[in-house]
């Protein structure tokens, strides 16, 4: 199994915090504004900040024309499905449970990796997948009745998670000779244009109403926290770590989403929630904990 570096660990912790508490923040913002327009404003504000990061890091912007098609496919599976479906689905789901459905992605990723990309996973990794899946079921224990009343939202979140899993596998295996920051910038540009077109087609009738201060705060948080940082951090992890490690390692995000939503909205937590936390932590450890080195020591012939 892959040994995680200190830099990757720092990125994981920061990513978990930023993305975890964003679910109730995004839910609150969408309740006060049109969902597609909310996402578009966040993306247009975050995009120049991301560009400044490339300038600051002296990362080139140029993508050769022969690589545009590959970049487009990465964008479709890593961003277009996710940003479109998730922001619409969260209207009919609680923020914490939307996060849980979205983060079934690690289970989909393991299946896609094994069946599509012929990825051989060690037994310990499959145990982590099983623990994560059971944790998700426990977190949804008290929501099955409610979710049955919002089948479209559930279906959209699960489809978004499945497409994100494919995108993660593709990002890990891409041979494009560019920095992850460069790829992330142009993928965000394409996603922003796509989302702007959808917002214009379906929500322009509501553009005369300006967002409230609370909605603006949620928009700014998404612009800076999600699009200028978390999205980049995730793609770096997806590209640097094995898919099973990068996906299961972020399973604490829906846990944080559930608990922050409970604190924010006053929802009651049950024993299933606490058991799910333990299972998901076990899943994370199963893929990130270094394996024992079974290589036999080399004995010098001069020694008896």
What is the structure's pLDDT at 255?
A: 72
In the DSSP assignment, the letter for residue 205 is G
> Residue 279 has what pLDDT?
72
* Rounded Cα distance, 119 and 110, in Å: 8
Query: What backbone phi and psi angles, to 5 degrees, belong to 242?
Result: -55, 145
Q: What is the pLDDT of residue 287?
A: 56
According to the model, what pLDDT value does residue 297 have?
Answer: 47
Looking at residue 117, what DSSP letter applies?
A: S
Provide the pLDDT for residue 304.
45
Compute the distance between CA of residue 124 and CA of residue 128 in angstroms, rounded to an integer. Answer: 6
pLDDT reported for residue 78: 93
- pLDDT value for 181: 93
Q: How far apart are CA 167 and CA 27, in angstroms?
A: 25
Domain ranges of the chain: 6-288
pLDDT value, residue 248: 56
Contact present, 244 and 25 (Cβ < 8 Å): no
Query: What pTM value is reported for the model?
Result: 0.80
- Residues of the chain with pLDDT below 50 are 1-2, 293, 295-304
* Residue ranges in the chain assigned as alpha helix (H): 6-31, 35-57, 68-75, 81-89, 95-102, 105-115, 123-139, 144-148, 151-173, 180-203, 213-221, 231-240, 243-248, 252-265, 271-288
Locate 293 and state its tokens.
């080195």
């Amino acid at each position: 199994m892959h040994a995680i570096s200190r830099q990757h660990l720092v990125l994981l912790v920061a990513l978990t915090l930023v993305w975890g508490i964003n679910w109730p923040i995004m839910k609150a913002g969408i309740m006060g504004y049109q969902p597609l327009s909310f996402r578009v404003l966040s993306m247009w504000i975050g995009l120049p900040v991301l560009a400044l990061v490339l300038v600051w890091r002296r990362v080139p912007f140029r993508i050769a024309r022969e690589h545009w098609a590959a970049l487009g496919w990465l964008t479709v599976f890593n961003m277009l499905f996710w940003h479109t479906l998730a922001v619409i689905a969260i209207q009919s789901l609680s923020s914490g449970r939307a996060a849980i459905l979205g983060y079934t992605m690690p289970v989909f990723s393991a299946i896609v990796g094994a069946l599509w990309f012929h990825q051989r996973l060690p037994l310990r990794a499959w145990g982590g997948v099983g623990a994560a899946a059971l944790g998700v079921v426990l977190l949804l224990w008290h929501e099955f009745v409610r979710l049955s009343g919002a089948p479209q939202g559930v279906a959209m979140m699960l489809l978004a998670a499945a497409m994100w899993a494919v995108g993660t596998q593709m990002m890990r295996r891409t041979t494009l000779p560019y920095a992850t920051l460069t790829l992330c910038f142009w993928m965000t540009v394409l996603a922003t244009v796509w989302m702007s077109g959808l917002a214009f087609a379906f929500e322009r009738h509501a553009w005369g109403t300006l967002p409230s201060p609370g909605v603006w705060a949620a928009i700014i948080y998404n612009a800076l926290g999600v699009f200028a940082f978390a999205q980049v951090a995730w793609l770096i992890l997806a590209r640097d770590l094995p898919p099973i490690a990068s996906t299961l390692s972020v399973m604490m995000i829906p846990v944080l989403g559930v608990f922050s939503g409970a604190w924010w909205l006053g929802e009651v937590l049950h024993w299933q929630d606490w058991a799910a936390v333990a299972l998901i932590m076990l899943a994370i450890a199963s893929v990130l904990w270094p394996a024992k080195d079974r290589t036999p020591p080399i004995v010098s012939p001069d020694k008896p």
